[in-house]
Amino acid sequence: MSRDAILDKVRTALGRSPGQPIAEPPPVRLRVADVDAEARAAGMLRAVEALAGKTRRAATGADARAYVGAVLDGKTAVASNAPFLRECGIVDLPGVQSGFTDRAALRALCATADVGITSADYALADTGTLVMLASPAEARLISLLPPVHIAVVPKERVLSGLDELLTVLPLPAEQTSSMVLITGPSRTADIEQILVRGVHGPGEIHVVVVG
Predicted local confidence at residue 198, as pLDDT? 47
CA–CA distances in Å: residue 51 to residues 162, 194, 207: 18, 16, 12
Predicted local confidence at residue 190, as pLDDT? 56
CATH code reported for the domain at 31-210: 3.40.50.10420
- Helical (H) or strand (E) element with 114: none
Predicted local confidence at residue 94, as pLDDT? 96
Predicted local confidence at residue 19, as pLDDT? 81
Nearest CA to 65 among 45, 92, 83? 92
Q: What residues in the chain have per-residue pLDDT under 70? A: 186-201
Predicted local confidence at residue 7, as pLDDT? 87
Predicted local confidence at residue 108, as pLDDT? 93
Predicted local confidence at residue 125, as pLDDT? 96
Task: Please give the full DSSP string across 154-203, using - where no structure is assigned.
Answer: EGGGEESSHHHHHHH-S-GGGT-S-EEEEESS-EE-TTTT--EESSSS-S
Q: Where are the domains of the chain?
A: 31-210
Predicted local confidence at residue 175, as pLDDT? 85
**pLDDT tens by residue, 36-46:** 999 999 999 99
Nearest CA to 38 among 163, 211, 164? 211
- Asked if 113 and 146 count as a contact pair (C-beta separation under 8 A), the reply is yes
